[in-house]
Amino acid sequence: MRRKASLILLALAVFCTAMSPLMRWYAFPRLAKIPAGQYQNAVLEAKNPTLLDYGSMQSKKVSKVTVVQTLKGNVEASEQVEKSAGRDVVVWDSLSYIVGPDGKMVSQVPERYVFDAHSQAPVHPTGKYAETVDGDKVRRDGIEFKWPFLTEKRDYEYYDAQARVTRPIHYKGTRTFRGLKVYYFEQTIPWMKVPLPRTMPVKGITPESVAKTGTTRWYTTVRKFWVEPVTGAPVYGEEIQHNELRGGTLLGGRDRVTVFAGHVKMREDYIRSTVALVKSNRVLVVLLTSYLPWGFLVAGALLLALSLWLEARSRRPGEPEAAPAHEPEPVSA
């Protein structure tokens, strides 16, 4: 009986010990992925920024500019891209909608971002599902919006949708943010000539009509992200951005005019909800990368020890394994 029990315990010990590395290095990379149908939004605000009044073409200080950013997973598109890419893909249709202090639209930039659901590496489909920014086909060679699971303490390539360029975003250290250990990343995009948004805040003004005047748009930004490294999700973001119109006849003899200059920060209620969301998602990732692998390993060691102990006891001299039961001999009188 003891020998049978020790064999069962041995089988369980091997099962648990094998589950430990299998869970961490086989199951986790395949199970951890961004859901294709995710929907998320964030609100960022710039207090007392400088904003261009397109009516008078004068820059002025305003009380607030708000950026409403929505990410929406397009499941049908991701299924189509997966057929050609041969891997799990996420297609995010996003919109950055910028609202002035009067509640009217200042600018809007729609994007389509296609990436590997597991690694967050960009995917480059062609045709109908191609990645775009403001209607233009683009090629992202870096991450955007989200870092990979198990983010490393290193620089990453990050895509800037305004400038349509990929540049390094530098790891600047580990911090604590609202009780979470986070990696702080910073990217500086130097002054660059960038396209005008297709949708302008004043009717009658189009990118083409501005281009005809010889006026060009220039942009620089310092982008800051606080990234929770287990999930790779940014829990907070800031951007110090400057936009200018330069040259041409539109500016009435002026060399340059500020379109927008401000420090954009995530709104407090969205910080709290993002931190809460990331904290709950973090538990699932830690379960697969740490709790379960270590738990299985410890259980495997304990079960093996128990199995060996039972086996040793069953072989101890003077303590024979359960004696075979003998049928009593019939007694004859």
Partner 1 sequence: MRALIAAATGLAVALALVLTITAMGSPPGETSPKPLLTTVPKHP
The residue ranges that bind partner 1 (CB under 8 A) are: 3, 7-8, 10-16, 18-19, 22-23, 26-27, 30-31, 33, 35-39, 41, 43, 66, 68, 70, 72-76, 78-79, 93-95, 97, 99, 103, 105, 108, 110, 269-270, 272-274
* Separation between Cα atoms, residue 67 and residue 55, nearest integer Å: 21
Instruction: Answer for the pair 157, 142: CB distance below 8 angstroms, yes or no.
Output: yes
Q: Which is nearer to partner 1, 14 or 240 (CB)?
A: 14
Nearest-approach distance from CB 10 to partner 1, in angstroms: 5
* Separation between Cα atoms, residue 255 and residue 244, nearest integer Å: 10
* Separation between Cα atoms, residue 123 and residue 301, nearest integer Å: 43
Determine how many CB atoms are found less than 10 A away from the CB of residue 287. 14
Nearest-approach distance from CB 40 to partner 1, in angstroms: 9
Strand partners, 295: none
Nearest-approach distance from CB 332 to partner 1, in angstroms: 41
Nearest-approach distance from CB 31 to partner 1, in angstroms: 6
Nearest-approach distance from CB 323 to partner 1, in angstroms: 20
Helix (H) or strand (E) holding 16: helix 2-21
Q: Which is nearer to partner 1, 27 or 222 (CB)?
A: 27
Residue 221: which residues within 8 A CB-CB, separation 6 or more? 160, 162, 187, 188, 189, 239, 240, 241, 242
Q: Which is nearer to partner 1, 13 or 210 (CB)?
A: 13
* Separation between Cα atoms, residue 269 and residue 42, nearest integer Å: 10
Nearest-approach distance from CB 192 to partner 1, in angstroms: 26
Q: Which is nearer to partner 1, 73 or 142 (CB)?
A: 73
Q: Which is nearer to partner 1, 31 or 57 (CB)?
A: 31
Strand partners, 325: none
Q: Which is nearer to partner 1, 7 or 286 (CB)?
A: 7
